[in-house]
Amino acid sequence: MPKKVSFDNKKFELFILSEKIEHIVKNLAEKINRDYRNRNPIIYVTLKGAMIFASDLIRELIIDCKIETISAKSYGMGLRSSGNIEIKEDEFDLENKDIILVEDIIDSGATAMRLKNFFMSKNPKSFTIVSLLSKPEARIHQVEVKYLGIEIPNRFVIGYGLDYAEFGRNLPDIYILIQ
Ligand code: IMP
Ligand code: MG
């Protein structure tokens, strides 16, 4: 894999190798398999950022589960969260269901909070969040992430589903913006 990548004058360097990501994902799946044994959760994948993470995570799950997607846009084309979170509604009969929301990264926490409020309003039996990454220093909205992969500094990252202006999602490793 390249040590550095760049997209319109923004330079990023290699930060988390795919081998390490794989290890983190397997650990998270193990916990979910243990906690959800004999339950049939509905797993909501937050598009688009979490799709790569979710596809690896889901294939490690040995519980019987359903997969759904939900769309929540916040960054738009920039490096900062717009704070403007759009939820695309589909079909949501979630009463008495166990919901697991899959996120790529928790930054300010606004998206996760917004989605949590949305799901809680559907009266599920339970609601938990799994996120690959978290930037604790950036947190404004406190939201519990029961299954967290790894904490990272308050810097912009791309790869493994995460984008900068829609680029970089296909990188197998995670890269960090060079300041
Ligand atoms: P929040 O609402 O501020 O927590 O932002 C969460 C969303 O912003 C994530 O689901 C990502 O789509 C995006 N995001 C936050 N930090 C990054 C980053 O470092 N790189 C790419 N996208 C990010
Ligand atoms: Mg994004």
DSSP assignment of the chain: --SEEEETTEEEEEEE-HHHHHHHHHHHHHHHHHHTTT--PEEEEEETTTHHHHHHHHTT--S--EEEEEEEE-STTSSS--S--EE-------TT-EEEEEEEEESSSHHHHHHHHHHHTT--SEEEEEEEEE-GGG-SS----SEEEEE--SS-EEBTTB-BTTBSTT-SSEEEE--
Find out whether 95 and 122 touch, Cβ atoms under 8 Å: yes
| Residue in this structure with the two tokens 């916990």, named with its chain if needed | 31
Beta bridge partners of 174: 16
Find out whether 121 and 87 touch, Cβ atoms under 8 Å: no
Mean pLDDT of 60-77: 85
At 81 the pLDDT is 63
- What is the residue with the minimal CA distance to atom 12 of ligand 1? 49
Ligand nearest to the CA of 77: 2
Q: Give the number of the atom of ligand 1 that is nearest the alpha carbon of residue 164.
A: 21
What Å distances lie between residue 37 and 71, 100, 102, 113, 178, CA to CA?
A: 28, 14, 18, 26, 42
Indicate if the pLDDT at residue 52 is higher than 70: yes
Q: Does 107 participate in catalysis according to the annotation?
A: yes
Q: Is the pTM here over 0.85, yes or no?
A: yes
Indicate if the pLDDT at residue 89 is higher than 70: no
Token couple for 112: 């996760």
Helical pair 18-35 and 51-58, crossing angle rounded to 10 deg: 60
Cα angle 71, 115, 42 (rounded to 5 degrees) comes to 75
Confidence of residue 125 (pLDDT cuts 50, 70, 90): very high
The Cα–Cα gap between 158 and 59 comes to 22
Indicate if the pLDDT at residue 80 is higher than 70: no
- What is the residue with the minimal CA distance to atom 17 of ligand 1? 156
**Which residue among 15, 53, 81 is best mutated to probe the pocket of ligand 1, counting the most ligand atoms within 8 A of its Cβ?**
81
Q: How much distance in Å is there from the Cα of 62 to the middle of ligand 2?
A: 29
Which amino acid type is present at position 48? Answer: K
Confidence of residue 76 (pLDDT cuts 50, 70, 90): low
Q: How much distance in Å is there from the Cα of 135 to the middle of ligand 2?
A: 14
- What is the residue with the minimal CA distance to atom 20 of ligand 1? 157
Q: Which one is catalytic: 98, 107, 163, 173?
A: 107
Indicate if the pLDDT at residue 75 is higher than 90: no
